[in-house]
Structure 1
């Protein structure tokens, strides 16, 4: 059974504060998600855990980018997987910032730990290659909405790699105890789950004292993230920390910084 304490990635005394796409709702970062500038501002604020996503271009370059297409947040158009990197690198996020490579994040922030969501199968092999090239296995945690991709990354990179469970099947947690048990007993040392899930018009609260207790008995951590429609206020963050979550992944990095400081866990601003 994989326990978080066995992985260097989780070697952190305080609750883990993770900047989602660099902290996309923080004033200077609005419109600049997954940019080097956003990550720099998060690191300067004291964040040492950064969340990003990866896609591979048509010629195999690995970019830190959430969407499968450039259209929503950049000046470019088209599917990342169908474009060469020479085209992708000319696109500008919010009209100003280039789409970064994962390599750039690993090189610019050598003291940071990266939570990486592999968004497509085409990005799996390039992700493995980049992590190996930077000897970064102990600096990263791999997650994906495809559990098969997570298992493939674990096989490729070995037992020192931290992986995340919990992104698949969360809507049935309240209805399939057997599935929950198997999910808790995966090799992943951390569960990364949304605070709420919408199912058939209902909002289901996934982060409960029972779930946290079960995960902690098995030595796993529980990190929570927020849908755009869910409450991401200081009050909600405090409620989750009071419940005992081990980490919070947020776009609102200034809010979480202040919450942690008030609770006696100030971030070490650089």
Structure 2
């Protein structure tokens, strides 16, 4: 979500090889939606333009993940039962699927979605997330005020399981979450002074080149390169509109 899709397009092109079109689809609230196309083919996600009304209500530039559920309406009811809130009720978009925007009990926002496969390909699967490939979302990190509550909320809502945990001293544990045995992200008890939010971490071919591209296209590095388990390196940044994201990949030779 950003007030200026055109203003962030060069950033995502240079950093991740994505293309954001100059024009989008008109939305009922006056906003526009643009699909993000990967240079290697397929779609990485979307850009929703923030209108002045949305900004005046307190909505700021940020990334919002979509999590799959087979029954959006039941998941919305379960969200409320678990202490979360509904920001956009369950809605069906023709050719897209049924979705709702909600928050967990601590206020981190995300979408619940049951997508519709494209015509002629009923078994199609989204590849926006891939734990290994550059240009895809490789990790989803929940930064929260109550990691213990989140570790109960998401398994109860979406059937996720808890994987390994990395101790972080007095803060608690960095708790991995898994779907069908694949680690898709983690629950992080360190907010760093921010409000609860999901942080997407995208794969890049070469992390130092990505860092240079961030700084050359109006972004800002907020946490410098850190080595992660497995030998790759990651850093966090904001795009030119202020939306936070992470980037991960190998160092160059």
Q: TM bucket by the smaller chain?
A: 0.3 to 0.5
Task: Give the TM-score normalised by structure 1.
Answer: 0.34
Q: Which has the higher contact order (CA 8 A, sep 6+)?
A: 1
